[in-house]
Amino acid sequence: MSKKEKLLDRFKGKPSDLTWDEFVVVLGHFGFRCESGKGSRRAFIHADSGRILYFHEPHPRKTVLVCYIKQTIQHLKENGLMT
C-alpha cells in the first residue's frame, strides 16, 4: 500500500489529527487545487466541474477540524468522487 493510499484510508476514518497539509494532498487526489482567499480562507476548486469548497486553514494549530473532514467526505460521495 502506497503512502497516498494509506493517507486516503486514514482520511476516510475521519481522524482528529489530520494535518492541513495532508488535507490538501487528499483533496488534490480528488482533483481539487487550493487557492488562497482573504486571511486564512482557502478555496478548493475542482478541475473538471469547477465546484468550489471553502475552508479556513487552521492556525495556530495545524490539524483540520473533523467537521471539515465530514463535510468533504459527504461532498465527495454526493458528487460521485468517492464511494
Q: What CATH number was assigned to the domain covering residues 15-78?
A: 3.30.920.30
pLDDT of residue 3: 93
What value, to the nearest 5°, has the Cα angle with vertex 72 and ends 70 and 74? 70
Q: Are 45 and 35 in contact (CB under 8 A)?
A: yes
Mean pLDDT of the chain: 95
pLDDT of residue 76: 96
Residue-wise pLDDT for 32-64, tens only, equals 999 998 899 999 999 999 999 999 999 999 999
- Where are the chain's structural domains? 15-78
pLDDT of residue 83: 82
